């Protein structure tokens, strides 16, 4: 857990999150037992923003195909600083965030709204990993119904982990609740173009 004199920035249920928030290959070995599914649901409920975000989170990962491509965006360097100081959710504290902000400022990186942006961004990565596991790795779709479908739809509408949320609905399309959620999202105004296209593709 965090030191007693540090102030956690993430929801309480996330402090027990046992995986690095920046690791793509997590949850995959977890059993589909009642306790694990209940924790996954609690994580998704805790990470869900209360209202639509001003911009999608987290940012889309950058892929460089050759040496002529543009450099990685600045946020990837900031993420590396954060990884060093707070690799797990329980380490995401106001004190460590302030240290990371100071280091980023020293490197000449942008720090406007630093704590708010990066607390939200780390939360979004945690949500992505959890949605991915629920949608792709859990075979017992009945155990996910309807809470995963309800939450995935809300994630898409609110602009957090939207790609992975659509993926979770796609992987569970045999469940009527998933198909209904995709149909509602297809008619939902305000989705980014790439997310709207992904939803439309799943409905073909």
Q: Give pLDDT tens digits for 70-116.
A: 678 999 999 999 999 999 999 999 999 999 999 999 999 999 999 99
167 found inside a domain: yes
191 found inside a domain: yes
pLDDT at 67 over 60: no
Rounded to an integer, the average pLDDT of 59-78 is 77
Q: How many domains does the chain have?
A: 1
Domain encompassing residue 27: 12-63+70-202
5 found inside a domain: no
Q: What is the pLDDT of residue 63?
A: 73
Number of H helices, E strands in the chain: 8, 0
Rounded to an integer, the average pLDDT of 149-171 is 97
pLDDT at 28 over 80: no
pLDDT at 61 over 90: no
Note if the bond before 69 is cis, omega within 30 degrees.
Answer: no
76 found inside a domain: yes
Task: Give the residue from 201, 186, 160 showing the smallest Cα distance to 49.
Answer: 160
CA–CA–CA angle 80, 193, 114 (5° rounding): 30
pLDDT at 123 over 60: yes
6 found inside a domain: no
**pLDDT-derived band at 1, boundaries 50, 70, 90:** very low
Cα separation values, 143 from 23, 146, 149, 190, Å = 25, 8, 11, 31
101 found inside a domain: yes
3 found inside a domain: no
Secondary-structure breakdown of the chain: helix, strand, coil percentages, each rounded to the nearest 5: 60, 0, 40
4 found inside a domain: no
DSSP bridge partners of 8: 93
The CB density around residue 182, as the number of other CB atoms within 10 Å, is 23
Predicted structure pTM score: 0.93
């Amino acid at each position: 857990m965090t030191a007693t004199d540090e102030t956690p920035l993430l929801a309480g249920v996330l402090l027990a999150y046992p995986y690095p928030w920046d690791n793509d290959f997590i949850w995959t070995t977890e059993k589909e037992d009642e306790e694990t599914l209940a924790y996954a649901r609690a994580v998704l409920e805790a990470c869900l923003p209360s209202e639509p975000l001003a911009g999608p989170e987290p940012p889309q990962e950058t892929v460089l195909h050759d040496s002529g491509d543009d450099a990685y965006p600045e946020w990837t360097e900031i993420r590396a600083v954060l990884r060093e100081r707070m690799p797990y959710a329980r380490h995401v504290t106001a004190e460590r965030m302030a240290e990371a902000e100071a280091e980023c400022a020293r490197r000449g990186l942008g720090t406007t709204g630093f704590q708010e942006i990066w607390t939200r961004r780390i939360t979004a990565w945690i949500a992505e990993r959890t949605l991915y596991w629920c949608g792709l790795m859990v075979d017992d779709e009945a155990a996910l119904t309807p809470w995963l479908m309800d939450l995935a739809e809300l994630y898409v509408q609110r602009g957090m982990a939207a790609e992975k949320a659509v993926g979770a609905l796609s992987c569970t399309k045999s469940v009527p609740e998933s198909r209904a959620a995709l149909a509602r999202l297809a008619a939902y105004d305000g989705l980014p173009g790439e997310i709207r296209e992904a939803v439309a593709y799943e409905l073909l």
